[in-house]
Amino acid sequence: MSLRRPAKNQPEIFEFSSSSLEEANKVVSKYPKGKQQSAVMALLYIAQKQNDNWIPLVAMKYIAKFLDMPYIKVYEVATFYTMYNLSPVGKYFVQVCTTTPCMIRGADKLVEACKEKISDKENELSNDKSCSWMEVECLGACVNAPMMQINDDYYEDLDKEKTVEIFDKILKGEDPKPGSYRGRLNTEPENNRKTLMDVKNA
């Protein structure tokens, strides 16, 4: 993972929408007076959500002014955490988990699908500018490996075919169903339970 840099093409203005503003004020109010800087991470996330999944420099400036802190401090935080995107990522932002459990279960096939369907390289927009993908570390759904995250939803128990199917739907503008793609409910065992057979409520 190399240093993530802010995008070259930056918008001129950024302002919180009324719903973002409300949310931001709510976060700030959780901290004691004078310690409002503590809300910086939450606010960056709100800004990212509002701005199609990425944070432009003006948003960092806006947040710095909002919280009365130096620009560089916000910039430091935004560049430190990998979940803040500093350049445009597309309306559908695909994060493929490639940490060990997923990797063993074939995450590299998912990456192949991404390369075929979206773009050759990570963090590059697809032809119609609606999608981008990146490899990420463990997303905490190892039971349903291999998996990927698109915006806020998890797509689990995948293989190459199913991934391509999902991408096709996305590229057509449809919303594919999140969750397991082998018909599991959440993380329950496939077929039948194999342990704790005598415990009724387990």
Partner 1 sequence: MPKLKVNDIEVEVEDGLTVLQACEKAGAEIPRFCYHEKLSIAGNCRMCLVEMEKSPKPIASCAMPAAEGMNIKTNTPFVEKARKGVMEFLLANHPLDCPVCDQGGECDLQDQSMFYGVDKSRFKENKRAVPEKYMGPLIKTQMTRCIHCTRCVRFATEVAGVSELGAIGRGEDMQITTYLEQSMQSELSANVIDLCPVGALTSKPYVFEARPWELKKTETVDVMDAVGSNVRVDTYDWEVKRVLPLINEDINEEWISDKTRYACDGLSNQRLDTPFIKYNGKFEKASWSEVFKIIKSKFENSSKDKVCGFVGDLTNMETGYIFKEFFDKTLNNNNYDSRSDNRFLDNSERKNYIFNSSINGIEDADLIFLIGANPRYEATILNARIRKAFVNNNTKVISLNDVGDLTYSYKNLDGQTQTIKTIFEGSEEISKEIISAIKPMIIIGESLLKLNSAEHLFNIIKNFLMKNNKFTEDWNPLNILSCDAATVGNFDLGILNKEKNLLEELKSNKFEIVYLVGQDNLEFNKKEEFVIYQGSHGDKGAEIADIILPGSAYTEQDGYFTNLEGKIQKAYKASYPPGEAKEDWQIINELAEVMNNRKLFNDKEELESSMFNYLKLQQEKRTAKNQEKRNLEFQNEKLNIQLKDYYFSNVIARSSKTMIECNNSKFNIKSTGTEG
51, 14 in Cβ contact below 8 A? yes
Q: Which H or E element spans position 153?
A: strand 153-156
Q: Judged by CB under 8 A, does residue 45 bind partner 1? A: no
Nearer to partner 1, 6 or 176 (CB): 6
Residues 79-118 that bind partner 1 (CB under 8 A): 79-80
122 binds partner 1 (CB under 8 A): no
Residue 2 binding partner 1, by CB under 8 A: yes
Distance in angstroms (rounded) separating the CA atoms of residues 180 and 95: 16
CA distance 142 to 176: 21
Only one of the segments 13-21, 40-48, 70-78, 99-107 lies at the binding site for partner 1 (rule: CB under 8 A); that segment is 70-78
Identify the three-state secondary structure at position 145. Answer: coil
Footprint on residues 129-158 left by partner 1 (CB under 8 A): none
In the region spanning residues 3 to 22, those forming contacts with partner 1, defined by CB under 8 A, are 3-4
The token pair that represents 109 in the structure block: 């096939």
CA distance 115 to 81: 25
Residue of 22, 30, 38, 70 interacting with partner 1 (CB under 8 A) = 70
Nearer to partner 1, 72 or 104 (CB): 72
Query: Could you say whether residue 57 binds partner 1 (CB under 8 A)?
Result: yes
CA atoms within 13 Å, Cβ hemisphere of 163: 28
Q: Does 27 bind partner 1 (CB under 8 A)?
A: no
